[in-house]
Amino acid sequence: MNKTANTIISGTGISLPDTVLTNRDLEKMVETSDEWIVSRTGIRERRKLEKGLSNADLSEAAAREALDRAAVKPSDLDLIVVATVTPDHPTPSTSCLLQTRLKAEKAAAFDLSAGCSGFVYALTVAHQFISTGVYKNVLVVGVEVLSRFTDWEDRGTCVLFGDGAGAVVLTAGEGGRGIIDFSLHSEGRGAELLMIPAGGSAMPASTETLENRMHFIKMNGNEIFKFAVKVVEENLTLMLKRNGYVAGDLDHLFLHQANLRIIEHIRKRLKLPQDKVPVNIDRFGNTSSATIPIAIHEELIAGRLKNNSLVAMVAFGAGLTWGGLLMKW
Ligand code: UT7
């Protein structure tokens, strides 16, 4: 556990595709309704990346804004970590494509795959380098282009996901501000609950995998729902307790935006008011590793996230993975 609290977020940025896909649009594509989607998920619309653009385009736009706001030059970056499950290519990493676009010559770069927990995992990894004094400036991007892996004939999943990116620049800070604690977990026995079966070495692309639609997201939503409501509260409560806090001390709780019912369930269990638990799933759907950095950026720009606020983030997703992070903003 790191008690030095010396890794701060000094700039944020986001990038969302212009194209909006509403529930009414989806009604024309699959057997669904606006009423079902809103009542079961809280989603009203999501963004879909335009043809010809890719993960690296969203990453670059979010990263440039975060760097500008942090007043950090790309040439001063020591490390770039891109959290994503929808990279431009299986290899090389999207982070390397981003590194060259930004001309961040001295930065090491790698992608991190931890499903929807990717951003929290990546922040934690970046924090290790900064808190040990090895690196001074790290760029972390949470980004997904899930629309390219969505089965637009499967109403059980196609209404849920969206595309987008959020980026943060981490720097060494002084005083009491910064990351206080983190708590990362995984449970590989749940791997099949949420996966893209084909396209890797276990099931390489073939005519058969294409015909069977195996390159798209397959999900057991009910099981993920039950897992999420259990582990998010447990993880957060434990992390708060071991640092001498209770949920009521939180100024902001950023939860992964997978379903409004999950968010509301946790918020009510923790007895937190709505204004402390930001929601953007209604506008962007589930953008996986991008949901939390997008929400953080929006709160910051709206002037609601103040220095020294007590902030927690908790995410969960494919793997299965889950992770929390506690910080003084
Ligand atoms: O990012 C992390 C990973 N993802 C998640 O966290 C997702 C977590 N799970 C969920 O959000 C919810 O389980 C879903 C939103 C995916 C599904 O909601 P649900 O209340 O668990 O519905 P269900 O899967 O139990 O389905 C209920 C009914 C079924 O019909 P029958 O069998 O009762 O006749 C489904 O076929 O709703 C049907 N259904 C739909 N109906 C209209 C499923 N999808 C749709 C749809 N429109 N889009």
Segment 135-151, tens digit of pLDDT: 999 999 999 999 999 99
- pTM for this entry: 0.96
The reply to whether ligand 1 has any atom less than 6 angstroms from the CB of 232 is: no
| Res 4: pLDDT | 53
The reply to whether ligand 1 has any atom less than 6 angstroms from the CB of 101 is: no
Give the pLDDT band of residue 297 (cuts 50, 70, 90). very high
Question: What is the Å distance from ligand 1's center to 37 Cα?
Answer: 9
Determine whether 65 is exposed, middle or buried from the number of CB atoms within 10 Å of its CB (0-12, 13-18, 19+).
Answer: buried
| Res 148: pLDDT | 98
The full set of domains in the chain, from first to last, is 7-176 (3.40.47.10), 179-328 (3.40.47.10)
Give the pLDDT band of residue 80 (cuts 50, 70, 90). very high
- Nearest CA residue ID for atom 2, ligand 1: 317
The reply to whether ligand 1 has any atom less than 6 angstroms from the CB of 259 is: yes
* Active-site residue list: 116, 256, 286
pLDDT digits (tens, 9 = 90+) for 41-74: 999 999 999 999 999 999 999 999 999 999 999 9
Average pLDDT over residues 2-12: 78
| Res 3: pLDDT | 44
CA separation for the pair 316, 322 (Å, rounded): 4
- From 146, 225, 289, give the residue whose CB has the most ligand 1 atoms within 8 Å, as the site to mutate: 225
Q: Is the pLDDT of residue 173 over 90?
A: no
The reply to whether ligand 1 has any atom less than 6 angstroms from the CB of 98 is: no
Question: What is the Å distance from ligand 1's center to 152 Cα?
Answer: 15
Alpha helices by DSSP H, the chain: 23-27, 34-41, 55-70, 94-102, 118-131, 155-158, 207-211, 221-241, 260-269, 281-284, 291-301
Q: Is the pLDDT of residue 287 over 90?
A: yes
